[in-house]
Structure 1
Amino acid sequence: MKGRGGEKQRRLFSIALKTFLSLQKTTIIQLESYIQDNVKTEMAEIQRNAVQNQTAAMLEIGTNLLTQTAEQTRKLTSVETQVLNKTSRLEIQLLEHSLSTNKLEKQLLVQTQEINKLHEKNSFLEKKVLDLEGKHEEELRGIKAEKLEMQDLVSKQNEIIVELELQLNTSTVNNTHLQKQQTLLMETVTQLVNLVSQYNQISAVSKEKQVTFKDCAEIYKSGATTSGVYALQFPNSTETVKVFCNMESSGGGWTVIQHRTDGTVDFHRTWKEYKMGFGSPSGEYWLGNEYVHKLTSRGVYSLRIQLKDWENQEAYSHYDQFSVGSEEQNYRLRVQGYSGTAGRTSSFSPSGTDFSAKDADNDRCSCRCSQMATGGWWFDACGPSNLNGIYYPGGLSTIKYNGIKWHYWKGPTHGLKAVSMMIKPADR
């Protein structure tokens, strides 16, 4: 690049020098021609006048020649000055052109370097783009392969689901037959119990007195202060029901409506079983939603829930008002006025929650909480409590989602060893 610039400068200088010499030569030739023409003219004039007056003419010619010579010298000096000025201007222009050429060469060099850098960057970017395209193609191939695997997996899962649905339908049919047989068996047992009650003459007078009580609070008021199983009879009814009365906790007279202590009773039951009750009052049992409804519909009742964990630590939750609606209302829960030691916040379902069982989904979740939690309960959107879940022996390591839980007392993973739900009139 520098070699080409020097050659270009030399060419420009040579052209300028030739132009200058040519201009000087032309100027000198013009001066010579001008002087010769003037001299010839003057000489002719002198020759013509020499005849008339040679002496005067010679003097005059000499004077004129001196004057003209001086004038010509002045003109020659002026022309020479003009030539020198033009030469200087040409030299200055040549220098300016040379400087401009150097500047242009530097700019051209900088531009060339920038272009080279851009070429390098462009090559780097092209390589990057090619690498990214290669990776993108590999990822696309991987995604397509994963998609095919997922499609195969979904197809297999669909086949499994269809198979499970068939098995579930078969199990449902079998379960329906078993439920019918169980219902018939329970009805037969109930009839036998009623017959035995009617013809049992042992402690007849004492029993007649016991069945006249509507709840454990009346039994406690009558003077019976020992916890145990007692018989209740509702007013204007011959129907009797056996319950466990807690005569010791918080003033006594509590009618126990639910009790869990050893896991011997399965609480994953049907709607009808939860309606009528199941288990044994002397052990684990559920009194029955219908009986609880009849009790709590005759007055204002309070509820006490007693809890014990596997470290034998105890706590309780107390509700000032508690009632259960009718079957037409899905045994709807009504509670208010929480206090107690089993959490700053109540773990019980909110007021207005309907009861659900494994064959009756009345919760506010599309997931069928009763099936997931394996027990009947007042499920909202499953919620923080379920005292009718599976009884898992042990502590933190064995508790599962479908176990017995009371969330706001030591958290959802804290296992419970024993729990009791009991009610009595709020004014007692």
Structure 2
Amino acid sequence: MWALRLGLVALACATTALCATRAQRRALDGGGRRRYHRVQHGHCSYTFVLPEADPLPCPASPGPAPGPANVLLQRDSPAGTAHAGHGAAQRLQHLERILENSTQWLLKVLNQTWRIEMQLQENSLSTTKLEKQLLLQTNEIHKLQNRNNILEVRVLEMETKQQAELAGAHLEKEKLQRLLSRQSGTIEELEKTLLAASANTSLLQRQQLQLLQSVQSLVRLVSQGRAMSPGQEQQFQDCAEVRRAGIRTSGVYTLHIANLSEPKKAYCDMETDQGGWTVIQLRANGSLSFQRSWREYKQGFGDAAGEYWLGNEAVHLLTSRVPYTLRVELQDWEGGQVYAQYGKFQLGSERQLYRLSLQDYSGTAGQQSGLALQGTQFSTRDADNDNCLCKCAQMLSGGWWFDACGLSNLNGIYYPARNNIRKLNGIRWHHFQGPSYSLKGTRMMIRPTSF
């Protein structure tokens, strides 16, 4: 910028000097009086020597071409001299105007140059500030890059550590799965062993109960002062008579039911609600199939020490003598236990298709009776006595008072835990766990209402 300014000043000085030199030369050539003109611009001072007049050429005249001698004569003539001085004055004024215009232009250029120089200085300062800021930002970026590199290294270390932990977890999972499979096998073996032990225990219990029954009968007869002859035994028609005889131990007893062709083994509950209950149905573990014929449900089947059905004919003969009460106990797989009790219960004869008669419901197995409708007849797979065209005994399995497939069926198929959901043909009670939940255990027992 300073070089441009110095160049413009030099150009101005050169221009002014050139004009002064030309003016001086014309003054010397004219030989007239000289006039001085001084101009001050900045550090430079310019003096112009201007001629008083400059001879003008004579007007053209006919004749021969003017030679050098004629030109000299014309220049020395007074008229030519006056005319030349007037023209020189006009040229001088013209040059002065040009010089002033040039000077003003140069001043404007110098001012603009000075402004541009100031702007450039300001821009230089701004550029310097921006460079400093850029340098600071660059330093910050470098710092952030260093931190980012450190964080990347830490993330990689954490990922490596996590992968190692994940691999360890996978190994532990595989070990646990192998251990679980081994334990599952061991548990299955233990369950089999437990079932076998339960069967042995049941056999021992039956033998113990029979022995205890014999001893109690013997003690009772001795206490009454009556001598018992060999083969003689006290006879009971139901468990209520056993309880009235002073026997308070629950177990299997032999019942001699009137008009029944042979004695019946039945389990007597001497604990629930003061005892005296004759169990007519028991489901506990699925060891006995209840897919039976009409004849089998009539005569009864199973073992009184385990799962069994006492027999429709025996229940009919008992409930036809005196009014009886029916108690139904239910158990689900989650440990819940409820019961349904009917104050009056009677079963019709075989000719009446063992028609059901129920009254006076109470209990916790629902707000209303869930056993069957009043007057419903008994049906089996070979004797369809229900009120449905679908043959409920064949579709739902077992023998029961189905009516139109009904609200319950405690003689359905026994399903173990985790397989007892959505089973319409299982052991079900509509008002307890719904119509498709197969229960874990059931027990039906009767006792005279007057007990």
TM-score (norm 1): 0.51
Residues 400/208 of structure 1: CA separation in 2 closer, same or farther (3 Å cut): farther
Residues 359/207 of structure 1: CA separation in 2 closer, same or farther (3 Å cut): farther
1:359 pairs with one of 378, 382, 385: 382
1:414 to partner: Cα distance: 2.9
Between the aligned partners of 2:371 and 2:414, the Cα distance in structure 1 is: 19
Say yes or no: does 1:284 pair with 2:323: no
Say yes or no: does 1:416 pair with 2:439: yes
Name structure 1 gaps, 5 residues minimum: 1-199
Contact 1:396/1:414 (CA < 8 Å) preserved in 2? no
Say yes or no: does 1:269 pair with 2:283: no
Residues 397/419 of structure 1: CA separation in 2 closer, same or farther (3 Å cut): closer
Contact 2:423/2:437 (CA < 8 Å) preserved in 1? no
Say yes or no: does 1:253 pair with 2:254: no
Between the aligned partners of 1:238 and 1:361, the Cα distance in structure 2 is: 26
- Aligned match of 2:404: 381
Contact 1:309/1:416 (CA < 8 Å) preserved in 2? yes
Contact 1:214/1:233 (CA < 8 Å) preserved in 2? yes
1:69-96 per-position Cα deviation (integer Å, ceiling 9, x unaligned): xxxxxxxxxxxxxxxxxxxxxxxxxxxx
Residues 397/265 of structure 1: CA separation in 2 closer, same or farther (3 Å cut): closer
- Aligned match of 2:426: 403
1:248 to partner: Cα distance: 1.0
Between the aligned partners of 2:260 and 2:298, the Cα distance in structure 1 is: 18
- Aligned match of 1:217: 240
Between the aligned partners of 1:343 and 1:407, the Cα distance in structure 2 is: 9
- Aligned match of 2:256: 233
- Aligned match of 2:369: 346
Between the aligned partners of 1:383 and 1:218, the Cα distance in structure 2 is: 34
- Aligned match of 2:326: 303
Contact 2:424/2:437 (CA < 8 Å) preserved in 1? no
1:236 to partner: Cα distance: 6.5
Between the aligned partners of 1:238 and 1:402, the Cα distance in structure 2 is: 34
Matches for 1:117-132 after TM superposition, within 5 Å: none
Contact 1:349/1:384 (CA < 8 Å) preserved in 2? yes
Residues 363/238 of structure 1: CA separation in 2 closer, same or farther (3 Å cut): closer
Matches for 1:198-217 after TM superposition, within 5 Å: 208-210=232-234, 212-217=235-240
| AA in 2 matched with 1:367 | C
- Aligned match of 2:351: 328
Contact 1:308/1:417 (CA < 8 Å) preserved in 2? yes
- Aligned match of 2:341: 318
1:237 to partner: Cα distance: 6.3
SS in 2 for 1:250: helix
- Aligned match of 1:69: none
Between the aligned partners of 1:206 and 1:288, the Cα distance in structure 2 is: 30
Matches for 1:83-98 after TM superposition, within 5 Å: none
1:397 to partner: Cα distance: 5.3
Contact 2:257/2:314 (CA < 8 Å) preserved in 1? no
Between the aligned partners of 2:303 and 2:380, the Cα distance in structure 1 is: 20
SS in 2 for 1:297: helix
What is the aligned residue count? 227
1:217-267 per-position Cα deviation (integer Å, ceiling 9, x unaligned): 010111111111000112466731110101111221000000000001110
Residues 397/223 of structure 1: CA separation in 2 closer, same or farther (3 Å cut): closer
Runs of 4+ aligned residues of structure 1 deviating over 3 Å after TM superposition are 202-210, 235-238, 395-399
1:395 to partner: Cα distance: 4.8
Between the aligned partners of 2:288 and 2:230, the Cα distance in structure 1 is: 30
1:383 to partner: Cα distance: 0.7
| AA in 2 matched with 1:277 | G
| AA in 2 matched with 1:335 | L
1:361 to partner: Cα distance: 0.1
Contact 2:326/2:342 (CA < 8 Å) preserved in 1? yes
1:412 to partner: Cα distance: 1.6
Say yes or no: does 1:391 pair with 2:414: yes
Q: Which has the larger radius of gyration?
A: 2
SS in 1 for 2:351: helix
SS in 2 for 1:220: helix
Between the aligned partners of 1:330 and 1:280, the Cα distance in structure 2 is: 25
More helix as a share of residues: 1
| Pairwise CA RMSD | 2.1
Between the aligned partners of 1:207 and 1:307, the Cα distance in structure 2 is: 40
1:117-174 per-position Cα deviation (integer Å, ceiling 9, x unaligned): xxxxxxxxxxxxxxxxxxxxxxxxxxxxxxxxxxxxxxxxxxxxxxxxxxxxxxxxxx
Contact 1:276/1:290 (CA < 8 Å) preserved in 2? yes
Percent of residue pairs identical: 54
1:205 to partner: Cα distance: 6.3
Residues 414/205 of structure 1: CA separation in 2 closer, same or farther (3 Å cut): farther
1:304-330 per-position Cα deviation (integer Å, ceiling 9, x unaligned): 001111112110000000011000000
SS in 2 for 1:329: coil
